[in-house]
């Protein structure tokens, strides 16, 4: 079966010029309405649409340079990686989409990436990493003028589903699409400003994840009896969350985002064997938040495939949040836009 992303690259390549150095930046993102479960694992095609907020200056800078010494090289945060490390292997496999998967006449590349996400925030960077790598590869192979951002988002999806949403700042919606070749499964920005919108990361466990989100979602889809209700509920949540964002109805948005995240975690806890990313410390933070909310705090939580808790709130609650949660790392998603 033909793949839409690969076809886009082939078509653009036919018009493109020789390879050159190119660099790109992409922000990381946090889903307010989660992507959890694939209908096609090879293409990262989701079972439901999702909606995220990008993390402004927290993201990945990537430069792609045609290598001078004829060998591939991958550098992360200034350190040269052995090419058989998972990070280097994944980056080079993705680059093969652009330079030929059959190994013949490959252009040797130096892929240099650095993340601006504080390590202490414990946020994975595959979303910003693959989004920045897609844009840098498009630049390096002269495809940037031949592909739209939406088409680049479709290509970034092959690296990691959540990368689909990291091509833009602000709120971004990834429509699940219905086509088998993935041609209608890409993201689009909502193109709206909400300067008061804030996110805080409450780091709980900043080490590597016990299970990747990929393994976690595949295991949940395969074994959790609660998963059956997820795709329809998640699709409805995504729609309702988009409506709340457009109306800048913060409490509706927050309540929906928190319920959506907890429902996703419930599907995992029912998996066999159970999968739990949240720890007692995560639950303690949620209890603290829920208590403060009873007392009037307007803030809501969301959690991904890790123990960290992320809060969403509006600028006027910042002092309350940093007082209650001194460890909070506050992000202003619209500050630099």
Q: Give backbone dihedrals phi and psi of 154, rounded to 5 degrees, phi first.
A: -65, -40
Q: Does residue number 35 form part of the binding site for ligand DP6 (CB under 6 A)?
A: yes
213 binds ligand DP6 (CB under 6 A): yes
Q: Say how far apart CA 107 and CA 98 lie, in whole Å.
A: 9
Binding flag, residue 126, ligand DP6 (CB under 6 A): yes
Length of the chain: 337
Q: Are strands 38-40 and 171-174 parallel, antiparallel or unpaired?
A: unpaired
Residue 219 · residue 212 · CB < 8 Å: no
> Closest Cα partner for 134 from 274, 16, 26?
26
Interacting positions 63-92 with ligand DP6 (CB under 6 A) = none
Q: Which of 189, 145, 201, 197 is nearest to 164 (CA)?
A: 189
Applying CB under 6 A, does 44 fall inside the site for ligand DP6? yes
Minimum distance of ligand DP6 from residue 12's CB (angstroms): 23
**C-beta of 12 vs 46, nearer to ligand DP6:** 46
Nearer of residues 35 and 300 to ligand DP6, judged by Cβ: 35
Minimum Å gap between C-beta 32 and ligand DP6 is: 9
CB of 162 vs ligand DP6, minimal distance in Å: 3
Q: Which is nearer to ligand DP6, 106 or 211 (CB)?
A: 211
Least distance between ligand DP6 and beta carbon 63 (Å): 22
- The residue (of 58 and 110) whose beta carbon lies closer to ligand DP6 is 58
Binding window for ligand DP6 (CB under 6 A); candidates: 20-28, 99-107, 156-164, 243-251: 156-164
Query: Within positions 252 to 311, which residues make up the interface with ligand DP6, using CB under 6 A?
Result: 304-305
Span from 69-77, 105-113, 154-162, 185-193 in contact with ligand DP6 (CB under 6 A):
154-162
Region from 34-42, 66-74, 104-112, 232-240 binding ligand DP6, contact rule CB under 6 A: 34-42
The DSSP bridge partners found for residue 329 are 201
Place of tokens 């409506």: 243
Pairwise CA distance, residues 55 & 199, whole Å: 8
Q: Tell me the C-alpha distance between 243 and 237, whole Å.
A: 10
112 vs 304, which CB is nearer to ligand DP6? 304
Task: List the helix and strand counts (H, then E) for the chain.
Answer: 9, 13
Q: Does 234 bind ligand DP6 (CB under 6 A)?
A: no
Burial class (CB in 10 A: 0-12, 13-18, 19+), 179: exposed
Q: Which of 28, 60, 125, 162 binds ligand DP6 (CB under 6 A)?
A: 162
Q: Which stretch binds ligand DP6 (CB under 6 A): 56-64, 97-105, 157-165, 313-321?
A: 157-165
28 binds ligand DP6 (CB under 6 A): no
DSSP-H helix ranges across the chain? 4-15, 86-99, 126-140, 149-156, 213-223, 230-247, 250-269, 280-294, 318-324
**Distances in whole angstroms, Cα of residue 1 to Cα of each of 4, 48, 238:** 10, 22, 29
- Do 44 and 75 form a contact (C-beta atoms < 8 A)? no
Check binding of 224 to ligand DP6 (CB under 6 A). Answer: no
The reply on whether position 34 binds ligand DP6 by CB under 6 A is yes
Which residues are at the interface with ligand DP6 (CB under 6 A)?
Answer: 31, 34-36, 44, 50, 126, 160-162, 213-214, 304-305
């Amino acid at each position: 079966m033909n793949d839409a992303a690969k076809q886009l690259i082939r078509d653009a390549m036919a018009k493109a010029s020789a390879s050159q150095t190119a660099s790109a930046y992409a922000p990381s993102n946090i889903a307010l309405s989660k992507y959890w479960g694939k209908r096609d694992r090879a293409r990262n095609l989701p079972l439901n649409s999702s909606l995220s907020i990008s993390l402004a200056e927290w993201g990945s800078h990537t430069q792609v340079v045609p290598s001078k010494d004829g060998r591939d090289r991958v550098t992360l945060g200034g350190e040269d990686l052995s090419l058989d490390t998972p990070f280097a292997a994944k980056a080079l496999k993705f680059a093969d989409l652009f330079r030929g998967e059959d190994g013949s006449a490959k252009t040797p590349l130096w892929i240099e990436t650095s993340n601006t996400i504080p390590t202490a925030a414990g946020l994975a960077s595959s979303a910003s990493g693959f989004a920045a790598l897609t844009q840098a590869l498009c630049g390096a192979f002269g495809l940037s003028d031949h592909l739209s951002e939406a088409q680049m988002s479709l290509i970034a999806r092959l690296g990691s589903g959540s990368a689909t949403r990291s091509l833009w700042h602000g709120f971004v919606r990834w429509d699940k699409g219905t086509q088998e070749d993935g041609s209608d499964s890409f993201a689009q920005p909502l193109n709206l400003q909400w300067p008061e919108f804030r996110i805080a990361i409450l780091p709980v466990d900043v080490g590597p994840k016990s299970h990747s989100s990929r393994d976690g979602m595949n295991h949940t889809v395969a074994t959790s009896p609660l998963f059956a209700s997820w795709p329809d509920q998640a699709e409805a949540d995504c729609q309702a969350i988009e409506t709340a964002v457009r109306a800048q109805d913060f409490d509706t948005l927050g309540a929906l985002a928190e319920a959506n995240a907890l429902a996703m975690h419930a599907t995992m806890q029912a998996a066999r064997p159970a999968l739990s990313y949240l720890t007692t410390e995560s639950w303690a933070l949620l209890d603290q938040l829920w208590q403060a909310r009873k007392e009037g705090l307007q803030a809501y939580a969301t959690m991904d495939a890790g123990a960290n808790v992320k809060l969403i709130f509006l600028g006027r609650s910042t002092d309350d949040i940093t007082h209650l949660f001194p460890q909070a790392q506050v992000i202003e998603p619209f500050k630099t836009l």
